[in-house]
Amino acid sequence: MRSDMAKIIVERPRHGSRLRSVKFAARVRPAGDVEDFDLAPPGDRDEKSLNENLAPLKRYLDRQVGRPWDKVYSEIRANLDTRKATQLHILQHLRDYVQTHCWMEGRTVMANRRWFGVDPVEGLYVHPKTGILRRAPERKWKLKREPVTRVRLSELAHCELIERVWFRFDYRKRDADEVLEVVRFHEDQPERNMKYGLRQPGDRRIVRYRDAPEQNRLVLVSRCQCTLVEAEAATAAAG
């Protein structure tokens, strides 16, 4: 780590400094009995905040991947004076960039989230077994797919998952000429009368299944629990 890293990181002026630019922050006293006013930006003039340039620190950490973290950390500490608030602040930033408290769950390195919960590590981390600084590969986020609970077997059969058990449903098609409904004229249902062309009392229209949507022509014939072979096939199709 370069010896002037601390200077490079904190070399930017701090927000809220009382230094005034000649052009824009001059103090002016107008003529007359008017209170002094300040052209400097209003707000928290007395507050000062650190304005670090942290890019060099990030680049340095990236270059240390593959090295023991203890050595990397020691080099950083050796070039910082922790008695100075600005340089102590750099050490605090390390917690944001490097996950040091990790553990293994099977073959996956886990760590606490910054705010709450637990997840596989992201970004830079210290391997819990080797102590080596490493970078986790970027995770490919996949949209969570809704679980499949219905698998079509044919035009007249499907399997459906009900309370974790697969059932098979078989249907038959009604005859196209079979009567679905007899619609009669009703004075209090003008829209219905118009839909079916009914104009006066006594008019009626016979609606057959050929005039209905296709799904209305299906009649449930049987429902039974799937055989083991059918359940395995349905589970594979749903996966």
Same domain, 73 and 190: no
Q: Where are the alpha helices (DSSP H) in the chain?
A: 5-9, 55-63, 69-78, 85-97, 190-195, 228-238
Same domain, 55 and 131: yes
Same domain, 97 and 172: no
Average pLDDT, rounded, for the chain: 78
Contact present, 14 and 50 (Cβ < 8 Å):
yes
* Listed residues 135, 159, 194: the one ending a domain: 135
At residue 21, the 3 state secondary structure works out as coil
Same domain, 126 and 185: no
Q: Give residue 160's domain range.
A: 150-238
For the chain, give the percent of residues with pLDDT over 90: 26
Tens of pLDDT, residues 112-158: 876 667 889 989 999 999 999 999 988 776 666 778 889 988 889 99
Same domain, 13 and 111: yes
Question: How many structural domains is the chain composed of?
Answer: 2
Is 232 part of a structural domain of the chain? Answer: yes
Same domain, 114 and 209: no
* Listed residues 78, 112, 135: the one ending a domain: 135
Q: For residue 37, what pLDDT is reported?
A: 33
Question: At residue 218, does pLDDT exceed 80?
Answer: yes
Is 197 part of a structural domain of the chain? Answer: yes
Q: Return the minimum-mean-pLDDT range out of 30-34, 49-53, 115-119, 187-191.
A: 30-34
